[in-house]
């Protein structure tokens, strides 16, 4: 893969604090990559270094083979969408969208055509004459996207653009953003702390923690094959049960006296090593199948989430989350009930304790 | 009882401020014996000296506003954007003209820029006009800076700047097309206050010996009976017109936003 955007050994320190540590990432042309992580993990700082708003303490930002590390933000041809929309309040929607074109000196007719094209693309062709304060949050963010794309940037940077919107609009807008990105084929970096957004929108996810990239991979890989304990816990819901390795060759661990075999153990695992057995809520089921392992516990709480019922079962001294599709014909379990849960060994993860 | 006391204080305040104004206005209308007339006003307005000094002061007020905006808007913007920790210091500096009397400032100017100095601005009328304008900029600084800074507080300066930068805009474009239009109401408020200050200013203009409106009012007051109160009423009306314009501009902006 030839990287269109190549981040090489990026470092950023604010005073004594190292916010980004030896960050390396190559992004192919047209790829949609999400930087996912908790607050303060350095994801926004990486984005701001790509945009030119922060100067790296060391390392390089290469775009299309050209080192842009020393360029000012207005020389980088990078479109950016901010969490707070950042539309210019004194300009109409059309003027906002056309701002970058005017700055570039694009002719009036060409600029007008491009603005009309952008407004049509975001589904707001009739709102060109309105001011930002006359639009809803979702409309403002669409306009911000159109404004960022109008000058045909080589990169699109999205800094938590959906965070300020309500849940329903967030879901519809993320699909719109993805559709637009696909249709334009523009290389996009999306910063979010919302794992659902990252999983649903990205070609690739980079999970960040403490200024480093813990794992980079497809949403499927990151979710199903987390490389580190942090990734496993941060992406999706995970229940961790204390376990002890009893047979390395057979991949067997003992969880509260129950042997579970056929597991993929960490490379450094040895007999007697303390590990954690990690289980996703959706990998547990009430009806067992041949080869399944099983754990029994006491139901502590039942949360009705609409399509899904989440039950928390106390087993092996830990709380185990279990999701089942809502079936109106079946009565939900009650707190205090004893419940046996089954799982396929290959759906469980074994992480270092 | 509380309500009565509040009304009593309010009425006392109104009487305290308004009675002298009524007395002055009434006196200014008594130039013609036995009847009220605008004779004093006509006489003042027809006086070539009035027209000359008033025009001169307006020109200097406009120059003061222009220079004030050019100095204050980028400074306040830069302080908010890049050195927010310096805000208390900058605010302190902008407040200095309120505590240093104009007479001290103007004597300092005369010593610094007299004919035997490196920059002999007092050696020519134009040079002295520049000096006087700079003096007015200093006097208006607390009002202009506060107005603009308050305006900047209402917008997200950092994000708007970054948004404009990502669209290719340089500093001049950002200031001229993004920041200034969004603090225009605040700038206008500062401009009207500056205008009111410059039109009535006496000390600097008199000590630099320039034909401004303030010294003209003083000379007229020393030599005539009815014209000075007429002139005072005119000056008062100009000041209040400026205040009214600030209100109008502010309300207009508020109304525009309220339409959302």
* A344 phi, psi to nearest 5 deg: -80, 135
Q: Given this model, what pLDDT does residue B252 score?
A: 66
Mean pLDDT value of segment A107-112: 95
Q: Give the whole-number percent of chain A exceeding pLDDT 70.
A: 100
Beta bridge partners of A239: A279
pLDDT on residue A353:
75
Which residue from A142, A103, A145, A149 is spatially nearest to A126, judged by alpha carbons?
Answer: A142
| Cα–Cα–Cα angle for A76, A81, A85, rounded to 5 degrees | 135
**H/E stretch holding A123:** none
Question: Phi then psi for A61, rounded to 5 degrees?
Answer: -115, 115
Minimum mean pLDDT range among A9-13, A193-197, A313-317? A313-317
Answer whether residue B241 shows pLDDT above 90: no
Write the residue in A84, A99, A134 that is nearest to B167 by C-beta: A99
Count of CB atoms within 10 A of residue A121's CB?
A: 19
| Mutation for B interface: A15, A79, A82, A151, most B CBs within 10 A | A82
pLDDT digits (tens, 9 = 90+) for B29-44: 998 888 899 999 999 8
Q: From the CA of A163, how many Å to the nearest CA of chain B?
A: 16
Cβ separation A80–B163 shorter than 8 A: yes
pLDDT at site B260: 40
pTM, 2 dp = 0.82
Q: Can you give the length of chain B in residues?
A: 260
Digit-coded pLDDT (tens) for B77-119 = 999 999 999 999 999 999 999 999 999 999 999 999 998 888 9
Q: How does the average pLDDT of chain A come out, rounded?
A: 92
Instruction: Give the CA angle between residues B239, B240, B242 to the nearest 5°.
Output: 65
Proportion of chain A in helix, strand, coil states, percent, rounded to 5: 30, 35, 35
Listed by start position, the domains of chain B span 1-30, 41-259
pLDDT for the residue numbered B258: 44
Report the 10 Å Cβ neighbour count for B108: 12
- Nearest CA among A287, A280, A249, A257 for reference residue A351: A280
Residue A58 · residue A74 · CB < 8 Å:
no
Q: What would the mean pLDDT of B216-229 be, rounded to a whole number?
A: 87
Portion of chain B with pLDDT greater than 90, in percent: 68
May I ask the CATH class of domain B41-259? mainly alpha
Q: What is the CA radius of gyration of chain B?
A: 22
B192-201 confidence digits (pLDDT tens): 889 989 988 9
| C-beta separation of A265 from A274 below 8 A | no
The predicted pLDDT at position B253 comes to 62
pLDDT band, residue B211 (cuts 50/70/90): very high
* Lowest mean pLDDT, pick from A41-50, A143-152, B224-233: B224-233
Spatial strand order in the sheet of A66-67 = A17-27, A5-14, A58-63, A66-67
Given this model, what pLDDT does residue B254 score? 54
Supply the ipTM of this predicted assembly. 0.85
pLDDT band at A190 (very low <50, low <70, confident <90, very high): very high
The answer to whether B182 contacts A90, with C-beta atoms less than 8 Å apart, is yes
Contact call for residues A339 and A286 (beta carbons, < 8 A): yes
Query: A73 vs B178: CB contact, 8 Å cut-off?
Result: no
């Amino acid at each position: 893969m030839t990287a269109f955007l190549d981040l090489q050994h990026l470092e950023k320190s604010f005073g004594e604090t190292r916010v980004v540590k030896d960050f390396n990432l190559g992004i192919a042309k047209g790829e949609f990559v999400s930087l996912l992580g908790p607050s303060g993990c350095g994801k926004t700082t990486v984005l701001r270094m790509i945009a030119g708003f922060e100067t790296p303490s060391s390392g390089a930002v290469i775009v299309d083979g050209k080192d842009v590390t020393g360029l000012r933000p207005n020389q980088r041809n990078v479109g950016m969408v901010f969490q707070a929309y950042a539309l210019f309040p004194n300009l109409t929607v059309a003027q906002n969208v056309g701002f970058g074109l005017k700055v570039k000196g694009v002719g009036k007719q060409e600029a007008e055509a491009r603005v009309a094209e952008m407004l049509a693309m975001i589904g707001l062709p009739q709102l060109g004459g309105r001011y930002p304060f006359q639009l809803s949050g979702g409309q403002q963010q669409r306009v911000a996207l159109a404004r960022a794309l109008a000058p045909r940037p080589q990169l699109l940077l999205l800094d938590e653009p959906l965070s300020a919107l309500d849940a329903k609009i967030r879901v519809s807008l993320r699909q719109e953003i993805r559709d637009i990105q696909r249709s334009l084929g523009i290389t996009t970096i999306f910063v979010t702390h919302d794992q659902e957004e990252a999983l649903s929108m990205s070609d690739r996810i980079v999970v960040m923690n403490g200024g480093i990239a813990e794992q980079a991979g497809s949403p499927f890989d990151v979710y199903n094959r987390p490389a580190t304990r942090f990734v496993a816990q941060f992406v999706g819901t995970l229940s961790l049960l204390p376990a002890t390795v009893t047979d390395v060759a057979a991949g067997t661990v003992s969880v509260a006296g129950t042997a579970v075999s056929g597991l993929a153990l960490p490379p450094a695992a040895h007999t007697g090593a303390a590990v954690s057995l990690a289980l996703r809520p959706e990998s547990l089921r009430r009806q067992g199948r041949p080869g399944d392992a099983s754990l029994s516990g006491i139901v502590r709480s039942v949360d009705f989430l609409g399509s899904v019922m989440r039950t928390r079962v106390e087993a092996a001294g830990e709380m185990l989350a279990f999701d089942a599709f809502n079936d109106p014909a079946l009565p939900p379990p009650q707190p205090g009930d004893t419940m046996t849960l089954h799982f396929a060994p290959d759906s469980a993860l074994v992480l270092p304790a | 009882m509380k309500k009565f006391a509040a009304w009593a204080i309010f009425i006392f305040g109104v009487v305290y401020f308004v009675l002298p104004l009524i007395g002055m206005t009434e006196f200014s209308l008594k130039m013609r014996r036995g009847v009220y007339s605008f004779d004093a006003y006509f006489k003042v307005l027809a006086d070539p000296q009035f027209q000359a000094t008033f025009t001169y002061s307006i020109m200097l007020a406009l120059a003061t506003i222009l220079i004030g905006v050019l100095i204050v808007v980028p400074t306040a913007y830069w302080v908010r954007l890049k050195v927010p920790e310096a805000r208390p210091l900058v605010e302190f500096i902008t407040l200095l003209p309120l505590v240093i009397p104009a007479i001290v400032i103007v004597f300092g100017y005369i010593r610094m820029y007299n004919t035997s100095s490196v920059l002999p601005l007092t050696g020519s009328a134009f040079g002295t006009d520049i000096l006087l304008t700079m003096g007015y900029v200093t006097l208006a600084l607390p009002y202009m800076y506060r107005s603009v800074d308050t305006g900047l507080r209402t917008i997200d300066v950092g994000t708007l700047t970054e948004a404009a930068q990502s669209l290719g805009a340089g500093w001049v474009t950002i200031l001229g097309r993004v920041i200034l239009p969004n603090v225009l109401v605040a700038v206008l408020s500062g401009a009207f206050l500056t205008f009111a200050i410059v039109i009535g200013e006496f000390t600097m203009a008199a000590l630099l010996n320039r034909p401004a409106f303030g010294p003209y009012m003083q000379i007229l007051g020393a030599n005539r009976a009815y014209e000075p109160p007429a002139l005072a009423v005119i000056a008062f009306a100009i000041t209040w017109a400026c205040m009214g314009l600030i209100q109008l501009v502010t309300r207009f902006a508020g109304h525009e936003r309220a339409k959302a």
